[in-house]
Chains A and B, each alone.
Chain A
């Protein structure tokens, strides 16, 4: 068996698990704050915007088959520019990991472990992800294949338990929002879609190069569908005013569940258990990519030596904000700005310069 190859099914699972992260908890409330009942427009358009970039990433590796992201970057770009790109990417990943971990710890603390110190929750999670991040990409892809069905089963479960209490008319009135709000809503939704840039690292390892595009697009469409479902469920369960009030509506709706008989109540424990895995599936691959990028910046052969030194940095940044509001305001906003560079600009620049490079060489 060939080592370090991943199948197309694994690419799809990777995209689903990486893209769905902390964003899913607050996304319905975030877009509802800006766009009201029409938040789904922001989610939908935000998701569709990513599709051309996924196509670009895919084309990039077809223009120069057999080369990795780093080899390509060194060839087609100015080495210094490429180094700057890599450094930006590493910074982005570090801040994203800190932000994700902090939100994760806060949610766990609010719902599950009230008196456990935030530090301990953070540290245990970091140590746990460092294990997966030290593994080669093949292992990460296998992990994604395990976690992906859990997410999908969970979403189906969420729909089923919410049907009896839903008030579908809550999604009206539709199409009341102005263009300005749509734009803001899309930007708010975009962060929830970051993560597919992992394809830059994953695609060169693909077994079957021909069908990667359709599988990765399928993965993205699943993500869009999940976000839309979560938005509509929480909107029809809460109504727009209460939805705006909630910080994490996706968890809170399971507290609304009231099925006949006592046995299905207070399901937040189950949701938290699933959610820990969802977060694990997001930040594990991110930490791996930070290590891989660092190993190329410093030109080492293996990436795992960088994983453990990264942990204290992530931990310190995660502990910087004093409260949840600061977390959202400083870390959250910084990550959003960085993510625009990471998920749009870098893939686009890479694609364009490879395209031009190819043209020049063929002439």
Chain B
């Protein structure tokens, strides 16, 4: 009897263990970037989807293959449909948990319906990491994914690394999926970094303005820097201005910015930005030329004036040309003045261009580098 029970238990371990969902790690294709373009054709297959996945055999010390990444593309009706289309010619199933970058082609994001479909598909999926970074390609996303970075290295994930390292956060603003959705919910407007090709090389700079899931325009690096300053997203940045016919470089190490909204007859937004930093460079001179307080204060004034001007120009552009509340005035109103927001919400489109701005920049030059 005992033997029978033991035999039964041993048999049970065979039948009860196991896993329906087991896939060996080397039998998965880890998609790292996806590009979506418009496929100009009648019918359902409106998208041209490009998948990029690393060649596992080419990674590590004992790499057996040279090719670092594979790029494949197909026409299909949705992003995940593309994965199934590819299954006819790739050996393993795709695995989306490590997807890092999604590039939307210019043509796709100009179509509100398609963009909404793509975003919903990604937001709904349980596998996709919601920290997925989004980009808009000037031109086609496929070309961006195929382009080589200037270093000539063809490893996969270059775009992700550029975005992730906030070295120059003010040239572009990395945007995650959830964050974009939240901004679009609150303001109706969001910005995504712009990817484009400079000749053969890839560059990420400036931003695309997305309004109600639709591309309405581009802004350059300077405007993006101004927006980043207002939104307190700058980590480190270098600002050059012309001071007494010479170039004055100022490194920002810390930014503190605040928005306050006053409501009387008009909606007035007071933006105060406090910058901390040090002098990066001015002009070589035989005498001590900078290490005097009045000189530094003068420089601060000049910097303040220039930055204020840049910000005002950007705000003007956003208000008059795009009518896009990128800096989140609507969100701020809805949070801190909910009653007024309720009455304004329906016609915010008409109200936003009339909002008045007071920009107050305070620059602090704390150090002058190594020399006087």
Contacts and interface: CB of A to CB of B under 8 A. Distances in A.
Interface of A: 110-117, 120, 169-170, 172-173, 176, 238-239, 241-242, 245, 252, 255-258, 265-266, 268
Contact of B185 (A110, A242, A256, A266): A242
A241 B335 contact: no
B20 A172 contact: no
B178 A256 contact: yes
B259 to A, nearest CB: 10
A257 B126 CA distance: 15
Given A114-B21, A173-B334, A173-B335, A255 B186 contact: no
25 contacts: A110-B126, A111-B126, A112-B21, A116-B20, A116-B21, A117-B20, A120-B20, A169-B335, A170-B335, A172-B338, A173-B334, A176-B338, A238-B178, A238-B182, A239-B182, A241-B181, A245-B123, A252-B130, A255-B130, A256-B178, A258-B131, A265-B131, A266-B98, A266-B129, A268-B126
B336 interface: yes
B185 A239 contact: yes
A148 B114 CA distance: 47
Interface string B135-166: 00000000000000000000000000000000
B28 interface: no
Which interface residue of B21, B126, B176 has the most chain A CB atoms within 10 A? Answer: B126
B320 interface: no
B185 A241 contact: yes
B5 interface: no
Nearest to B333: A173
B260 to A, nearest CB: 13
A68 to B, nearest CB: 38
A172 B338 CA distance: 9
Nearest to A114: B21
Contacts of B123: 245
Contacts of B130: 252, 255-256
B19 interface: yes
B19 A116 contact: yes
A5 B123 CA distance: 50
A268 B130 CA distance: 12
Contacts, number: 54
A172 B131 contact: no
Given A115-B20, A116-B20, A239-B186, A255 B131 contact: yes
Given A111-B126, A258-B176, 10 more contacts: A110-B126, A113-B21, A115-B20, A120-B20, A172-B336, A176-B338, A241-B181, A241-B186, A245-B123, A257-B131
Contacts of B97: 266
Interface in B10-54: 19-21
Contacts of B98: 266
B182 A242 contact: yes
Which interface residue of A117, A238, A255 has the most chain B CB atoms within 10 A? Answer: A255
Contacts of B181: 241-242
Nearest to A252: B130
A173 B131 contact: no
Interface string B175-206: 01010011001100000000000000000000
Contacts of A176: 338
B335 A172 contact: yes
A52 B98 CA distance: 49
Interface string B109-128: 00000000000000100100
B338 A173 contact: yes
Contact of A255 (B19, B129, B182, B335): B129
B187 to A, nearest CB: 11
Contacts of A258: 131, 176
Contacts of A266: 97-98, 129
Nearest to B336: A172
A170 B178 CA distance: 14
Contacts of A257: 131
Interface string B265-286: 0000000000000000000000
B325 to A, nearest CB: 15
A116 B22 CA distance: 10
Interface string B295-334: 0000000000000000000000000000000000000001
A266 B95 CA distance: 13
The list of the 9 closest CB pairs from A to B, nearest first, reads: A241-B185, A173-B338, A172-B335, A116-B20, A239-B182, A258-B131, A115-B20, A255-B130, A113-B21
Contacts of B335: 169-170, 172-173
Nearest to A257: B131
Contact of A115 (B21, B129, B338): B21
Given A113-B20, A173-B334, A265 B178 contact: no
A170 B186 CA distance: 10
B133 to A, nearest CB: 10
Nearest to B124: A245
A237 to B, nearest CB: 8
Contacts of B129: 255, 265-266
A3 B181 CA distance: 57
A170 B332 CA distance: 10
B358 to A, nearest CB: 21
Contacts of A239: 182, 185-186
Contacts of B21: 112-116
A170 B334 CA distance: 10
Nearest to B130: A255
A172 B339 CA distance: 12
A25 to B, nearest CB: 13
Nearest to B131: A258
A193 B146 CA distance: 55
Contacts of A245: 123
A181 to B, nearest CB: 15
Contacts of B20: 113, 115-117, 120
Nearest to B133: A258
B235 to A, nearest CB: 13
B126 to A, nearest CB: 5
A245 B336 CA distance: 23
A9 to B, nearest CB: 36
A255 B130 CA distance: 6
